[in-house]
Amino acid sequence: MLRKFRTTIIIACYLLIILGCSSDENKLIGIWKPSDEMNETLYEDHVWEFKQDQLTIKDSDKVYKGSYEINSDKIIMKLVDATGDRKNGFGLYKLDGNKLTIKVNEKGEEYYPSNLNDENGYDLIYLMKSD
């Protein structure tokens, strides 16, 4: 009985490790740059670097560092630059291979777009993973 229980626990842990490795959070890790689909010049020089639970966004003027969380199709970004300027973003994301689409509210208010096509004051960002 104890041996069967141990085997079940080992199999469960193994499955958690395998499933955890395929999560979007692990797939986000790396450097992302604007894709050719990006028609917004506001983000054309941004470089996004996702680490385990940290995010750095660099542009020509500033570097923002902070954390991010993903839950289902939602992303929360809490960032600050060297001067203390805070930027919190609440949005939706879609990850398709090496293509990342983010629809985000950068005004710091905890409002999420209704979908990725929502044009109600949200920024749409297209990123490609950089090798």
What does the mean pLDDT of the chain come to?
79
Contact 90, 63 (CB under 8 A): no
Query: What would the two tokens of residue 16 be?
Result: 């958690």
C-alpha to C-alpha distances, 78 to 1, 21, 60, 70, nearest whole angstrom: 48, 24, 20, 12
- For the entire predicted model, the pTM comes to 0.75
**Secondary structure of 9-70 as H, E, C letters:** HHHHHHHHHHHHHCCHHHHHCEEEEECCCCCCHHHCCCEEEECCCEEEEECCCCEEEEEEEE
Domains, in order of start, for the chain? 29-130 (2.40.128)
Distance CA 37, CA 48 (A): 16
pLDDT class of 16 with cuts at 50, 70, 90: very low
| Model pLDDT for residues 33-85, shown as the tens digit of each residue | 988 776 555 667 889 999 988 999 998 888 999 999 998 899 999 999 888 88
Q: Name the 3-class secondary structure at 95.
A: strand
Distance CA 52, CA 89 (A): 18
Q: Tokens 């060297």 belong to which residue?
A: 82
